Amino acid sequence: STPLLRVEKLVKHFPVQKSLFSRDKAVVHAVDGLSFELRAGQTMALVGESGCGKSTAGRLVLRLLEPTSGKVWFEGQDLMTLKPAAMRERRRELQMIFQDPYSSLNPRMTVEQTLIEPLQLHGLARGRQKARAIELLDLVGLPAQYLQRYPHEFSGGQRQRIGIARALAVEPRLIVCDEPVSALDVSIQAQVVNLMQDLQKQLGLAYVFIAHDLAVVKHIASHVAVMYLGQMVEYADKKSLFDQPRHPYTQALLSAIPLPEPGLVRQRVLLQGDVPNPVSPPSGCRFHTRCPHAKARCAEEVPELLSDGGHSVACHFWREIAASAPPAEMHIP
């Protein structure tokens, strides 16, 4: 069947001034050839350090940003060819939840106004708006009395619930969630992720879930794409990715997650240095300046993203690394 969302070779380059004192232009390679598919009811996690292009990718998918090149299909329809009016109509089905529940809600609008605004925009009859707003609060586990309150009267977790209710107002099919729990206390994060999972089951939603941390997506993801400097370096279903990470970068991200069982430790993979500047990404494998397994070939030849049994990885040496590395998790005797 047709996937709900198909993204092919998306590229976004931003021109920037080289320096304050120069007229020369440089180019930020924010997203450099991203492809994936997503089915209804599934969650695609996009994971990577800040600056890897995952938020830009999320905005490109919703056409909130125009790509430099590449395609996005929603239910088989090429979004890039849609005229503004048709895109506005489609946008109802494509919503976004933002990272910061403090700044994404208008402080001068009550919860009722916040929830009713998208309903008005998409033409729900006036007489039905309030009932829908109450229904939306109920969906995210908040009481109807909250309708007359303002954002500052709520905790971070409650505000994010209101942000979710607003995104759900017009019955979307796909929601891009840009680090929806990163700004919340760890104790609240699980509650919000659980709520999102319940809503997904109940409403058949698909999510693109952006996160900088693999721990956050462990429960909600059906598939995970790991991004590094604008490119996908690994893609697999959640189980394969967590059980048998193939890319050294994924192995490093995973090794940073503490394991819940006492006595079980992960071989910690430490990365050297910082993420390189996306204006001039390293030659060959972009990860070679930080990779603990890098060899001469890695600086010269770009590794292709190749699939083996539905699990894709862009690394010249992943087989050798898998054969030689200790298991990702070890019991301490």
Instruction: Compose the 256-295 pattern: x for residues touching ligand SF4 by CB under 6 A, - for all others.
Output: -----------------------------x-xx--x-xx-
Whole-angstrom CA distances from 79 to 8, 55, 121 are 12, 19, 20
Q: Which is nearer to Mg ion, 167 or 183 (CB)?
A: 183
Binding partner of 91, given ligand SF4, Mg ion, none, CB within 5-8 angstroms per partner class: none
Asked if 246 is part of the footprint of ligand SF4 (rule: CB under 6 A), the reply reads no
Closest residue to Mg ion: CB criterion: 55
Helices (H), the chain: 54-61, 84-91, 111-121, 126-139, 156-168, 186-203, 214-217, 238-243, 248-255, 296-300, 318-324
CB of 58: closest distance to Mg ion in angstroms?
8
Residue selected from 248, 304, 310, 331 as contacting ligand SF4 according to rule CB under 6 A: 248
Kindly give the pairing relationship between strand 311-313 and strand 231-237: antiparallel
Using the structure block, give the residue that is written with the tokens 């590395």: 325
Instruction: Compose the 179-218 pattern: x for residues touching Mg ion by CB under 5 A, - for all others.
Output: ----------------------------------------
Rounded to whole angstroms, the Cα distance separating 88 from 83 reads 9
Instruction: Compose the 35-64 pattern: x for residues touching Mg ion by CB under 5 A, - for all others.
Output: --------------------x---------
CB of 326: closest distance to ligand SF4 in angstroms?
17
Rounded to whole angstroms, the Cα distance separating 275 from 228 reads 9
Tell me the three-class secondary structure of 176-215, residue by residue: EEECCCCCCCHHHHHHHHHHHHHHHHHHCCEEEEEECCHH
Residues that bind ligand SF4 (CB under 6 A): 247-248, 285, 287-288, 291, 293-294, 298, 303, 315-317
